[in-house]
């Protein structure tokens, strides 16, 4: 979310509330990337021994800086792909919620500063 000055705190809060509501519709998800790889099965008479490798799928992610992989059975590839997409959607929503919350903080601070500045001017004009 870009820095949007001039938007009221109430509008920002409404946007944030809508984004949070989108999180409540979350479906199953999994962190990582679904990757298609080519592998050999080890059977010397198989086509893969002659260079035509089998297609396999793995779910990969980084854990403490190292790549970790999990084999994904063929009958789960479509489902796991949806899970990965859902995880990305949720991450995007969380970033949006965080950005909106940050904007609310910034708006609160600038509003409070403006109010204090105006009160100070008002008090000075009353004293003269």
pLDDT digits (tens, 9 = 90+) for 55-109: 999 999 999 999 999 999 999 999 999 999 999 999 999 999 999 999 999 888 7
| DSSP secondary structure code for residue 53 in this structure | P
Helix axes 9-24, 77-127, angle to 10 degrees: 160
Taking the C-alpha atoms of residue 69 and residue 81, their distance in angstroms, rounded to an integer, is 15
Taking the C-alpha atoms of residue 57 and residue 61, their distance in angstroms, rounded to an integer, is 13
């Amino acid at each position: 979310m870009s820095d949007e000055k001039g938007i009221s705190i109430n509008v920002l809060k409404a946007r944030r509330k809508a984004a949070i509501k989108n999180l409540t519709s979350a479906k199953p998800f999994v962190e990582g990337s679904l990757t298609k790889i080519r592998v050999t099965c080890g059977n010397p008479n198989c086509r893969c021994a002659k260079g035509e490798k089998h297609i396999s799928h793995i779910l990969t992610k980084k854990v403490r800086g190292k790549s970790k992989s999990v084999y994904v059975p063929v009958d789960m590839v479509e489902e796991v792909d949806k899970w990965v997409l859902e995880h990305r959607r949720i991450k995007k929503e969380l970033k949006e919620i965080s950005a909106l919350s940050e904007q609310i903080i910034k708006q609160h601070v600038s509003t409070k500063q403006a109010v204090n500045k105006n009160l100070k001017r008002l008090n000075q004009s009353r004293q003269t």
